[in-house]
Amino acid sequence: MWIEIVLFALLVITAVTIAGLNDLFAAAMLSGIFSLLCASLFTLMDAVDVAFTEAAVGAGISTVLMLGALSLTGNRENQQPLRLGPFVVVLLTGAVLIYGTLDMPAYGDPAAPIHQHVAPEYIAGATAEFGLPNIVTVVLGSYRGFDTLGETAVIFTAGVGVMALLLGRRKRRDGDEVETSGEGHGDAKS
């Protein structure tokens, strides 16, 4: 119980600190810490697979990519006066979201609708049909194989999009800088 309270408190402190920072380098590092705290909370909720993803993607790769982006731009945010309109919209949205959670079933409630639909079948089938102890893998790989195929296609599309945007432009600007790429590089130009 206490560890959840401490982690949530740290999460809030990190979020508020990020919002107030002008130094984007510190903000990128703190957002990595934010992800790590989220991963710890997911672990406490027994969602180890989600925690794993959050730690690897949120705290690892995206922090590195953020720092990479900062090394190409500046690492200071332009000072802007606090605008009241967006601030009120954000506060209202947050309040509505919190109001929405009040109707949700209690955490871990076995009678919650989400645990009554297909979950019992999956839990029984993972052992009987598959004999695999990690139900998450069985659901992702087999029961929801189409979804995972779609997800992989989304990642593929994201990769192709980044290549088309970043590499295509670079080649047009200075054509001699192609030593970083193989012969398939020409596909990336749009």
Partner 1 sequence: MSSKPPMRMREKVLLRVASRVFIPLILLFALYVQFHGDFGPGGGFQAGVIFAAGFVLFGLIFGLETLQQVVPWSIVERSVALGLLIFGGVGVACLLRGGRFLDYGVLDHHSSMHGQHLGILIIELGVGLTVAATMLAIFYAMAGRERT
Binding site for partner 1 (CB under 8 A): 48-49, 51-53, 56-57, 60-61, 64-65, 67-69, 71-72, 129-134, 136-138, 140-142, 145-146, 148-149, 151-153, 155-156, 158-160, 162-163, 166-167, 170, 180-185, 187
Rounded to a whole number of angstroms, the minimum distance from the CB of residue 105 to partner 1 is: 25
Rounded to a whole number of angstroms, the minimum distance from the CB of residue 116 to partner 1 is: 25
Q: Which is nearer to partner 1, 34 or 143 (CB)?
A: 143
Q: Which is nearer to partner 1, 17 or 43 (CB)?
A: 43
- Please tell me the distance from the alpha carbon of residue 62 to that of residue 158, in angstroms, as a whole number: 14
Q: Is 21 left (phi over 0), alpha (psi -120 to 50) or beta?
A: beta
Rounded to a whole number of angstroms, the minimum distance from the CB of residue 93 to partner 1 is: 29
Q: Is 79 left (phi over 0), alpha (psi -120 to 50) or beta?
A: beta
Q: Which is nearer to partner 1, 101 or 180 (CB)?
A: 180
Rounded to a whole number of angstroms, the minimum distance from the CB of residue 42 to partner 1 is: 11
Q: Which is nearer to partner 1, 89 or 160 (CB)?
A: 160
Q: Which is nearer to partner 1, 94 or 161 (CB)?
A: 161
User: Is 105 in contact with 113 (CB distance < 8 Å)?
Assistant: yes
The stretches of the chain forming alpha helices (DSSP H) are 2-20, 24-44, 48-53, 62-72, 84-101, 119-125, 135-138, 145-162, 168-173
For residue 154, report the phi and psi dihedrals to the nearest 5 degrees.
-65, -45
Rounded to a whole number of angstroms, the minimum distance from the CB of residue 91 to partner 1 is: 34
- Please tell me the distance from the alpha carbon of residue 187 to that of residue 164, in angstroms, as a whole number: 8
Supply 165's token pair: 């945007």
